[in-house]
C-alpha cells in the first residue's frame, strides 16, 4: 500500500516519462500552466483544513508536494466542508488560529469564511494564472465541476432531453435529485440569480412532483444507472467515476444550454494567514502536473491554461455555462427558504 502511494507520487512529479497521459499533457500544455520545475522550494510548516474526503487522490497530490519539498511540513485536517468552515470561524472568534489554508469543496464555504473577514488577499500573478472567469482577489478556485444531467442510456437517448433546465419538469421523464447536497443548493442559488426568485420557486414546485429524492448525488447517479429514474441532476464527476469503475454502466451525460443547469462551480482554496509560504503552496496546486493529474484521475475540470479536461467530458468552450459570479453563490439562506417553501427540503 505504501508502495502504491509512492508510485503515484513518482508518476505525479518525478518521472514524467513513466506516465503517458502526463507526458501527452506536458507536450500539448499551454504556456500559462506553470510546471513544478519553475516553482520555489517550500520551507516551513503549514496547516491545511481539507474540506473533502477524496479517495486518496488529493492525498497523492499532497504527498507529492511534500516529497518534493523535504523541508516543508504539511499538517492536514479533513472534515466536511461546512463543519470545517464553522470551526475556522469559531477558532477566529476565540483567537485560536490553527489553519493556514482552507481547501473547500464548494464556493459557499469560501463565502462564509471570506464573509467573516478571514480570507487573505493573494498575489496578482497567482490569480492571473486562472482563466479570467475564475479570478478572485482573496481565493483561488482549484478545480471545476459542472452541473450535468446523467441519463440512463437504455431508457432514453440524448435527443429526448430538453436543453433548457426550466422545461425539465414537463419532459415526462422520471427524475432523481439530491436537494440536501451542497452542489445542488449552489445550483438553485445560481438559478435564483439568473432566472429570478419567482421562476425558481415555480420550477422547484413543478419539479417536486416529478422527482425522487436521494441523499447525495452519488446516489442519484447510481439510481440512474440502475434505471430507478430516467435522468438525474448531479455534478459531472460522479458519473465519470462510476463509468471508470464499471465501463459498461448504463449512464451518460447530457447538458443544458446557457442556464443554471450547466453551471460551472469550483472547489477553492483560501489563505487564512499572510505570508509567501501559503501563496507558494497554492502555486503548486495550479501547476500543469497537479491540474492534469486531478483531471485524469479525479475527473475534475482543470481551471488553468489549456490543461485537457477529464476523459468523457467535452471541453468547457463547447458547453455554454451561464455567467455567474461564484462568490455570490455563498448567499444560501434565501435559496434554502425558497426550497423549504416549495416543500423540497
**By the criterion CB under 8 A, which residues form the site for another protein?**
1-2, 4-5, 8, 47, 52-57, 59-60, 75-80, 82-83, 85-87, 90-91, 93-94, 96, 98, 108-109, 112, 180, 182, 185, 213-215, 218-219, 225-228, 237-238, 241-242, 245, 298, 332-333, 336, 340, 343, 345
Q: Closest distance between another protein and the C-beta of residue 74, in Å?
A: 9
Nearer to another protein, 62 or 130 (CB): 62
Nearer to another protein, 225 or 259 (CB): 225
Nearer to another protein, 112 or 295 (CB): 112
* CA proximity to 271, closest of 143, 138, 126, 142: 138
- The secondary structure element, H or E, covering residue 232 is strand 231-232
Q: Closest distance between another protein and the C-beta of residue 3, in Å?
A: 10
- Provide the pairing of β-strand 251-254 with 140-152: antiparallel
Residues 6+ apart with CB under 8 A from 165: 191, 203, 256, 259, 260, 261
Q: Closest distance between another protein and the C-beta of residue 131, in Å?
A: 25
What's the rounded Cα separation, in Å, for the pair 41 and 71? 9
CA-to-CA dists, residue 193 to 77, 83, 197, 199, angstroms: 34, 26, 8, 10
- Provide the pairing of β-strand 234-235 with 140-152: antiparallel
- Decide if 230 contacts 175 (C-beta within 8 A): yes
Nearer to another protein, 43 or 340 (CB): 340
- Decide if 101 contacts 50 (C-beta within 8 A): no
Q: Closest distance between another protein and the C-beta of residue 306, in Å?
A: 26
Q: Closest distance between another protein and the C-beta of residue 186, in Å?
A: 10
Cα 104–chain centre separation: 9
Nearer to another protein, 163 or 228 (CB): 228
Rounded (10°) CA dihedral 79, 81, 87, 91: 110
Q: Closest distance between another protein and the C-beta of residue 163, in Å?
A: 27
Nearer to another protein, 141 or 219 (CB): 219
Nearer to another protein, 109 or 130 (CB): 109
All 3 cell numbers of residue 48? Answer: 491545511
Q: Closest distance between another protein and the C-beta of residue 164, in Å?
A: 27
Amino acid at each position: 500500500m505504501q508502495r502504491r502511494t509512492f508510485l503515484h507520487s513518482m508518476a505525479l512529479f518525478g518521472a514524467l516519462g513513466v506516465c503517458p497521459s502526463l507526458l501527452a499533457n506536458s507536450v500539448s500544455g499551454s504556456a500559462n500552466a506553470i510546471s513544478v520545475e519553475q516553482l520555489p522550494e517550500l520551507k516551513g510548516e503549514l496547516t491545511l483544513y481539507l474540506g473533502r474526503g477524496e479517495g486518496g487522490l488529493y492525498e497523492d497530490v499532497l504527498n507529492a508536494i511534500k516529497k518534493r519539498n523535504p523541508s516543508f511540513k504539511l499538517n492536514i485536517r479533513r472534515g466536511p466542508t461546512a463543519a470545517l468552515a464553522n470551526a475556522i470561524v469559531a477558532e477566529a472568534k476565540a483567537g485560536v488560529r490553527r489553519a493556514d489554508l482552507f481547501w473547500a469543496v464548494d464556493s459557499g464555504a469560501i463565502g462564509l469564511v471570506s464573509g467573516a473577514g478571514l480570507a487573505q488577499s493573494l498575489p496578482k500573478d497567482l490569480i492571473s494564472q486562472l482563466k479570467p472567469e475564475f479570478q478572485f482577489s482573496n481565493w483561488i478556485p482549484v478545480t471545476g465541476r459542472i452541473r450535468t444531467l446523467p441519463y440512463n442510456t437504455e431508457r432514453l437517448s440524448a435527443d429526448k432531453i430538453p436543453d433548457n433546465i426550466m422545461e425539465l419538469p414537463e419532459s415526462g421523464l422520471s427524475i432523481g435529485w439530491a436537494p440536501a447536497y451542497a452542489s445542488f443548493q449552489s445550483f438553485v442559488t445560481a438559478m435564483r440569480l439568473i432566472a429570478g426568485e419567482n421562476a425558481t420557486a415555480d420550477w422547484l414546485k413543478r419539479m417536486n412532483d416529478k422527482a425522487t429524492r436521494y441523499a447525495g448525488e452519488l446516489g442519484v447517479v447510481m439510481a440512474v444507472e440502475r434505471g430507478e429514474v430516467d435522468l438525474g441532476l448531479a455534478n459531472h464527476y460522479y458519473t465519470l467515476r462510476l463509468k471508470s469503475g464499471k465501463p459498461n454502466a448504463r449512464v451518460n451525460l447530457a447538458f443544458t444550454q446557457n442556464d443554471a443547469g450547466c453551471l460551472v462551480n469550483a472547489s477553492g482554496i483560501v489563505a487564512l494567514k499572510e505570508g509567501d509560504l501559503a501563496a507558494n503552496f497554492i502555486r503548486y496546486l495550479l501547476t500543469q502536473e497537479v491540474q492534469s493529474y486531478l483531471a485524469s484521475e479525479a475527473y475534475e475540470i482543470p481551471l488553468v491554461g489549456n490543461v485537457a479536461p477529464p476523459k468523457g467530458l467535452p471541453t468547457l468552450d463547447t458547453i455554454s455555462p451561464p455567467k455567474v459570479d461564484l462568490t455570490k453563490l455563498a448567499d444560501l439562506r434565501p435559496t434554502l427558504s425558497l426550497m423549504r417553501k416549495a416543500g423540497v427540503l
